[in-house]
Structure 1
Amino acid sequence: MMENIVEMPKEQLIGTVQKMMSEGYRFVTATCVDNGNETLDVIYHFDKEYELINYRLTVGKDEEIPSISKIYFGAFLVENEMKELFGLKITDIVIDYGGHLLLSDDELDAPMAKRQIVIEKKGEKQNA
C-alpha cells in the first residue's frame, strides 16, 4: 500500500505541480497503471527532505492531460514513456518523441495497456 497519496482531479494537476515546485519539492517520477477498465491511474511522486508525497490522477483512456514538463523539464522522459507504453494522452510535452522513445513502428501500440482478448471457437465467442 502506498503511503502519502492524495487523490487529485485533472483540473488541479498544473496548479498542484506548480505549488510543489514553489515549495521546493523534487519531481521523482510518475507511474501509470492500467486499471483494467476504461481508466488509467497516473501517480506523480515528489520528494522533499526524504518525505514522498504522491498525487493520483484517474483519467479515462480517451482523456487528455497536460504535460508537467514545462514546470519540471525532466518529466518529458517519463511522460513520453507513459504515452508510448500505456497510450496515455499527454499534451504539450516539451520534447515529444511521437511514440518512438522506446518503440519502433513495428511494435505493438501501447504494449503495457490491458486489452480484452476475444477468442472465437467454431461459431462461439469467448472472452479471455
Structure 2
Amino acid sequence: MINDEMWRALHGLARVCRAAGDGIPDEELKSLQVGKVSEEAGEAMHALHGLKGLTTCEAECGPQGHSWEMVENDLTGAVIASLLALIYIDPEGAREKFEAVFNRRTRRGREEAAAV
C-alpha cells in the first residue's frame, strides 16, 4: 500500500503540475493527465519492443538501445501519472478510491498468499 509520505509527495507534485497548467480549465487538466498515463505506458511498450528487437529506432532513441531499466522507468512513470490523475480528479478522495480498487483487484492474490 502507498504510505502517508508517498501520498504527501504525490499531492505536492500534483500542486506543482497544476500550477504549471495555471489558466487551463480544470476539466482539460484532468483529461491531459489521463492522456499522460497513456503516453507513459506507450513509452514502456516502445522500450519493450526495442528490447525484444521488434522495432528499430536508433534515429529517435540513440544507439544505446533499450533495456529493462528503461521499461521499468517508463512503467513507474505510468504509475505516477495514474496516481496524479486520480488526485486531479478527486484530491480529497483519491487515496480512499485507490485503496478500495487496489483491495478489490488484489483479493485473489491475498487469498493465494494466505493459503500457502
State TM-score, norm by structure 2.
0.32
Q: TM-score, normalised by structure 1?
A: 0.29
Between structures 1 and 2, the one with greater helix share: 2
